[in-house]
Amino acid sequence: HVQLVESGGGSVQAGGSLRLSCTASGLTFATYAGAWFRQTPGKDREGVAAIEMDGTLHYGYSIEGRFTISQDGAKQNLYLQMNALQAEDTAMYYCAALYDRRDCYAATRGHAVTAAYWGQGTQVTVS
């Protein structure tokens, strides 16, 4: 049974930081690419950051160097370090397992992708 469970969301003031975590069970990020998406009501889901199976990183245009995606050595956990948070970063953040590098690129370039698995999301609110 595959599960992706996000944690680390919460409320923070503008300029602050949060670190999101995603723990995978039933799969590892050695066999799937990992990604973070975010979504606000009425808008499409946006690819924030992705990491290919070989460690190549991709970031969405709106991130502007403020976020960092990483994973642990066991490739069981995915992280998103978010710094200099702005009100526009307020959203539900989702962890996803993607099939390949093409999905990593497409997701962070604003194209819709079909993820293999999704987490349930964690809310980030910046005020």
Q: Does residue 107 surpass a pLDDT of 90? A: yes
**Burial profile 33-55: b = 16 or more Cβ within 10 angstroms, e = fewer:** bbbbbbeeeeeebbbbbbbbbee
Is residue 42 scored above 90 in pLDDT?
Answer: yes
At residue 53, the pLDDT reads 95
Q: Given this model, what pLDDT does residue 62 score?
A: 87
